[in-house]
Amino acid sequence: METFFRYGFLERALIAGLLMSITCGLLSPFIVLRRLSFSADGLAHASLGGLALGIFILNSGTTPTLAGYGISFLFTCGVAAGIAYLSSGNRLQSDTAVGACYVAAFSLGILLLTARHRSFNNLEDFFFGSLLAVNSLECWLLGGLSLVTILFCFRYWRWLGQWTFDEELARASAVKTNWLRYTLILLIAATVILSAKVVGIVLVTALLILPGAIGTLSGRSLPVIVTLSLVTAMVSVMLGMAGSNAADVPPGPAIVLIVFSFFLFAFSLRRWRDGRILCTPKRPWECS
């Protein structure tokens, strides 16, 4: 841990990683419970189009600026709106709409990046992150996003719970379900863009889905599920960074593999507990 505070870039990496884990850990249970995992994955891939568009318009280097992040955010929100439009009116399933939009945005991103940088060969920085290259601006943006996410979850805590259970029931209880949906999508869009540097747009999906999945496998109440998700995300990021520093491997994949191992443990534990509690047709001797 001492090593992290000896160098400024390592300190920034640790702060950025923890801030990102707070945002992902809080959003993840609601993404999983509302079955938005594929949408989150689609937006994460689509954000490459936004990041590339920012670089293309501003003719900047491969490190996005504040304006670049703004353009990217607007682009990703545009993709989210496109998905919503295509899947409205019962003409197209939402997963088909997500699949169609994200590949188009992703392809656009690749084309724009190669058009601006003919010899561009650092695409893996966007895909898998370059945590050690995180700058102060990105730390501040991640801090702001974490704060907004905390406030959103606290302010609408019980509405979010009702909405995850049943949309119609929530609407009947005067819960503003559209407001919750659009805010959650905006927060996901901002998270995937700002996480591009930390774990990359391909691997951020793991942090948006797995902590929530671990929470829902282990907890039976929303406070427990969200706490488990938050703690898992934070511990995974810290262990992943420490492990990558010790073993000299990229931090993004190390973080993802650690959170996945927690997921496997939670899944096995749930299976074992369900096996003890439930009687199944295959094990009639357990039925009382």
Partner 1 sequence: MHTPACNILTVENLTLDLSGRQILRDISFTVGNSEFLGLIGPNGGGKTSLLRVLLGILNPTIGQIRWSGPDCGKPRIGYVPQRSGMDKDYPLSSREIVKQGADGALPLFGSRRQQVNRKADELLARVGLSDHAETRFVNLSGGQQRRLLLARALMNNPNVLLLDEPTAGVDALGQERFCEILREFAQQGIAVILVSHDISLVTAYADRIACLCVGLHWHGDAQALDQKIVREAYRCELARYQILTEQKSAQIRTRENEACLPKHS
Binding-site ranges for partner 1 (CB under 8 A):
33, 35, 154-159, 161-162, 164-169, 171-175, 216-217, 219-223, 225, 278
Least Å from the CB of residue 227 to partner 1: 12
> Cβ distance 215 to 229 under 8 Å?
yes
Residue with tokens 């993840």: 28
Least Å from the CB of residue 257 to partner 1: 25
Least Å from the CB of residue 171 to partner 1: 5
Q: Which residues contact 67 (CB under 8 A, 6 or more apart)?
A: 54, 58
> Cβ distance 215 to 225 under 8 Å?
yes
In the complex with partner 1, which residue's Cβ is closer, 154 or 285?
A: 154
Least Å from the CB of residue 122 to partner 1: 41
Least Å from the CB of residue 255 to partner 1: 25
In the complex with partner 1, which residue's Cβ is closer, 135 or 268?
A: 268
In the complex with partner 1, which residue's Cβ is closer, 158 or 271?
A: 158
Least Å from the CB of residue 183 to partner 1: 13
In the complex with partner 1, which residue's Cβ is closer, 220 or 282?
A: 220
Q: How many Cβ atoms from other residues are within 10 Å of residue 118's Cβ?
A: 6
- The CA distance from 206 to 251, in Å, is 14
In the complex with partner 1, which residue's Cβ is closer, 79 or 153?
A: 153
In the complex with partner 1, which residue's Cβ is closer, 13 or 230?
A: 230
- The CA distance from 179 to 217, in Å, is 27
Least Å from the CB of residue 24 to partner 1: 19
CB neighbour burial string for 218-227, b if at least 16 within 10 angstroms, e if fewer: bbeebeebbe
In the complex with partner 1, which residue's Cβ is closer, 81 or 224?
A: 224
